[in-house]
C-alpha cells in the first residue's frame, strides 16, 4: 500500500478541483490532487466545455477587468450591455422554478466577478465571447443572454492554465488514482483511499478532503436509476470518468443527498457522436442554433418551441425533450436565410448533415423521418409565421407563429429559401443536478444538516443549485466560486 500525506487532498482535477487546490495552496497548505483519468484525459468535464463563464458586470469597465486588452475600437463597435446581481438572481430563480438554494445563489452571484478576477491572477485568460454571444447588426456587435466572456482557448485553455498554476504552486497531482473511500476517525474525515492503475491502494492522509470529481453522468446504471428509463442510452458529452464516485463515498460517510436527483444538463448533440466526449472535437458535437430553424422528430412533427427563449436558457433542457422522441433523435432544419447565423459547430467535419434544394429532396435524405408529414409540417409552419414582425437575432423579437399546436415564440422565418440544411441530433448529457448538500463555506452537511468535519465539496457534485434547467455559463462559474471557497476553508481546518 502506498501512502501520502497532505494538509488538503482534492479529489478531481477539473475547474472546481483545481480552483480548490490553488486556493488551499495560496493559504499555505500542502495539497495533493487525485485524478482518476490518465494525464492525457485530465481536466474532467471542464476540458470539454467552450469556456463561457456567467458573471455580473457593469458594462465595459468590468469586462476590461477580465480582458484588459479590449481595444477602444472594440468598445466603439460593440454593445457589451451589462448584467446585474438582480438579473442573474432572477434568471437562476426563473430557470430553476424557484427551487435553487437562495443562500448558495447569493454567494455564487456576489462572488462571480471577484472569483473571475482571482482566476485571472492565477493565469487564466479571458476574451469577449463574440463568436457565441454576439451578433452583428447594422455594423455593430451586440451581446445577448447575460454572457460576455469566455476563457481563452475554451475548456482546454482553461484546464491548461489551471494546471500550469497548480504546478507553480507546488501542488502534487497523482494520475490514474480513482478515489473510492473516505478515511474516517471518530466521525471526522482524515483522508481518502484510492485505487491506482494495477490495483494497488493509495492512502492519502489529510487534514481535510475536497470532493470535486463531477456528477454521475458517465455512469449508465446511475443515470437509469435516478434520471429514469432511456437515460442509459444518452451520449455523454464529456469525461468518461465521472462515475459518481465522489458522491457515493460522501453518502457512505453520512452526507445528505441534496438537489434535483432526477434532473440533469442535457443538450442537442450530434446523433453520430461517440458514446463519450472526444477531446479532439470538444464541444463541437453540440448543435445550439435551433432557435433560427425548426426541430422535427421521426414523425416529421415539431415537438418544442425552438424560440421560447434565448438559447442560453433552453439548450440544457432540450436534450431531455429529444431523448423522449421516437428513436431518441431529431433533425434541425434551416434555410439559406439563416445559415450565416449558425454557430461554428455546424461546420465541423464530424457532423451529421444533409442538404437539398427542395424540401422533398431534403426529407428523402433525413434518415428515419416521415417525409410526407414533414412536408405538411413545414407548409403549416410557413403559413403561420408572423412575417409582419421584424426579425432580430439579438433580442427576443416576438416574431412568432399563430395557430399552431406547438408555437414558435421568437425568430420564426418561413423555410422557403434553398438550399436547405438539416442536422441530425440526439441527447448529450453534460452533468447531473443531484448531489451533496454544502453550506456557504463548502462544508459537506450530513443528514442532520451538520457539517461533516474535514469534508468539503465543489463543482458538479454539489446539489441545490440547478433544477430542471440551467442558464448557460453558470457551471464553470459555480465550480470556481465554490472551489475557491472550499479550498480556502479546507486549508484552515
pLDDT tens readout for residues 352-410:
999 999 999 999 999 999 999 999 999 999 999 999 999 999 999 999 999 999 999 99
Answer with the one of 382, 413, 428 that is the final residue of a domain. Answer: 428
Question: Whose CA is closest to 147, among 61, 232, 88?
Answer: 88
**How many helices (H) and strands (E) in the chain?**
14, 21
Q: Is the pLDDT of residue 1 over 80?
A: no
Mean pLDDT of the chain: 97
Per the structure block, which three cell numbers stand in for 315?
A: 439548450
Would residue 413 count as lying in a domain? yes
Query: How far is Cα 296 from Cα 301, in angstroms, rounded to an integer?
Result: 5
Answer with the one of 402, 428, 454 that is the final residue of a domain. Answer: 428
Q: Are residues 367 and 483 in the same domain?
A: no
Write out the residue range of the structural domain in which residue 57 sits: 2-216+433-491
Would residue 342 count as lying in a domain? yes
Q: Is the pLDDT of residue 99 over 90?
A: yes
- Do residues 471 and 54 make contact, with C-beta atoms less than 8 angstroms apart? yes
Q: What pLDDT, on the 0 to 100 scale, is given for residue 61?
A: 96
Q: Structural domain tally of the chain? A: 2
Q: Are residues 409 and 484 in the same domain?
A: no
Q: What pLDDT, on the 0 to 100 scale, is given for residue 139?
A: 87
Q: What pLDDT, on the 0 to 100 scale, is given for residue 136?
A: 87
Q: Which tens digits make up the pLDDT trace of 310-347?
A: 999 999 999 999 999 999 999 999 999 999 999 999 99
Q: Are residues 411 and 465 in the same domain?
A: no
Q: Are residues 75 and 14 in the same domain?
A: yes
Total number of residues shown for the chain: 493
Cα distances (Å, whole numbers) of residue 181 to 35, 162, 189, 470: 14, 26, 10, 31
* Band (68; pLDDT cuts 50, 70, 90): very high
Query: How far is Cα 484 from Cα 356, in angstroms, rounded to an integer?
Result: 51
Q: Average pLDDT for residues 468-475, to the nearest whole number?
A: 97
- Do residues 457 and 30 make contact, with C-beta atoms less than 8 angstroms apart? no
Q: What pLDDT, on the 0 to 100 scale, is given for residue 188?
A: 97
Rg over alpha carbons for the chain, rounded to the nearest Å, is: 23
Answer with the one of 374, 405, 428 that is the final residue of a domain. Answer: 428
Would residue 40 count as lying in a domain? yes
Q: What pLDDT, on the 0 to 100 scale, is given for residue 54?
A: 98
Q: Are residues 68 and 138 in the same domain?
A: yes
Q: Average pLDDT for residues 255-269, to the nearest whole number?
A: 98
Q: Are residues 480 and 419 in the same domain?
A: no
Q: Are residues 331 and 480 in the same domain?
A: no
Q: Is the pLDDT of residue 5 over 80?
A: yes
Per the structure block, which three cell numbers stand in for 324?
A: 423522449
Q: Average pLDDT for residues 428-442, to the nearest whole number?
A: 98
Per the structure block, which three cell numbers stand in for 163?
A: 494546471
Q: Are residues 17 and 140 in the same domain?
A: yes
Amino acid at each position: 500500500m502506498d501512502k501520502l500525506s497532505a494538509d488538503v487532498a482534492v479529489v478531481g482535477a477539473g475547474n472546481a478541483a483545481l480552483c480548490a487546490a490553488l486556493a488551499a495552496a495560496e493559504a499555505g497548505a500542502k495539497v495533493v490532487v487525485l485524478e482518476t483519468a490518465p494525464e492525457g484525459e485530465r481536466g474532467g468535464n471542464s476540458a470539454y466545455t467552450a469556456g463561457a463563464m456567467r458573471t455580473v458586470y457593469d458594462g465595459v469597465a468590468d469586462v476590461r477587468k477580465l480582458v484588459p486588452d479590449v481595444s477602444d475600437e472594440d468598445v466603439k463597435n460593440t454593445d457589451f450591455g451589462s448584467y446585474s446581481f438582480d438579473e442573474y438572481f432572477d434568471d437562476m430563480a426563473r430557470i430553476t422554478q424557484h427551487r435553487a438554494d437562495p443562500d448558495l445563489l447569493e454567494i455564487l452571484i456576489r462572488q462571480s466577478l471577484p472569483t473571475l478576477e482571482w482566476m485571472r491572477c492565477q493565469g487564466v485568460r479571458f476574451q469577449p465571447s463574440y463568436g457565441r454571444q454576439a451578433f452583428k447588426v447594422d455594423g455593430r456587435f451586440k451581446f445577448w443572454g447575460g454572457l460576455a466572456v469566455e476563457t481563452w482557448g475554451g475548456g482546454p485553455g482553461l484546464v491548461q492554465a489551471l494546471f500550469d498554476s497548480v504546478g507553480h504552486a507546488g501542488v502534487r497531482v497523482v494520475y490514474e488514482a480513482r478515489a473510492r473511500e473516505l478515511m474516517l476517525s471518530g466521525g471526522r474525515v482524515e483522508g481518502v483511499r484510492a485505487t491506482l492503475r494495477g490495483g494497488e491502494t493509495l492512502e492519502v492522509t489529510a487534514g481535510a478532503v475536497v470532493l470535486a470529481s463531477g456528477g454521475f453522468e458517465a455512469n449508465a446504471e446511475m443515470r437509469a436509476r435516478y434520471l429514469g428509463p432511456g437515460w442509459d442510452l444518452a451520449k455523454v458529452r464529456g469525461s468518461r470518468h465521472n462515475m459518481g464516485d465522489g458522491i457515493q463515498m460522501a453518502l457512505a460517510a453520512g452526507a445528505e443527498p441534496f438537489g434535483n436527483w432526477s434532473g440533469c444538463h442535457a443538450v442537442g448533440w450530434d446523433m453520430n457522436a461517440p458514446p463519450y466526449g472526444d477531446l479532439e472535437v470538444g464541444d463541437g458535437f453540440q448543435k445550439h442554433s435551433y432557435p433560427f430553424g425548426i426541430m422535427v422528430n421521426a414523425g416529421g412533427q415539431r415537438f418544442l418551441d425552438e424560440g421560447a427563449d434565448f438559447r442560453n436558457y433552453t439548450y440544457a433542457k432540450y436534450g431531455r425533450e429529444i431523448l423522449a422522441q421516437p428513436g431518441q433523435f431529431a433533425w434541425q432544419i434551416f434555410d439559406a436565410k439563416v445559415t450565416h447565423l449558425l454557430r461554428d459547430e455546424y461546420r465541423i467535419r464530424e457532423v451529421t448533415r444533409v442538404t437539398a434544394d427542395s424540401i422533398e429532396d431534403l426529407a428523402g435524405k433525413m434518415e428515419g423521418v416521415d417525409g410526407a408529414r414533414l412536408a405538411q409540417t413545414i407548409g403549416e409552419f410557413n403559413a403561420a409565421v408572423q412575417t409582419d414582425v421584424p426579425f432580430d437575432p439579438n433580442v427576443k423579437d416576438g416574431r412568432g407563429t399563430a395557430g399552431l399546436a406547438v408555437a414558435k415564440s421568437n425568430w420564426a422565418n418561413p423555410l422557403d429559401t434553398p438550399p436547405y440544411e438539416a442536422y441530425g441530433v440526439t441527447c448529450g448529457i453534460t452533468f447531473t443536478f443531484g448531489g451533496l448538500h454544502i453550506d456557504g463555506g463548502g462544508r459537506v452537511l450530513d443528514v442532520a444538516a451538520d457539517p461533516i468535519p474535514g469534508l468539503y465539496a465543489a463543482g458538479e457534485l454539489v446539489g441545490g443549485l440547478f433544477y430542471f434547467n440551467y442558464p448557460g455559463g453558470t457551471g464553470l462559474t459555480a465550480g470556481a466560486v465554490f472551489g475557491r471557497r472550499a479550498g480556502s476553508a479546507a486549508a484552515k481546518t
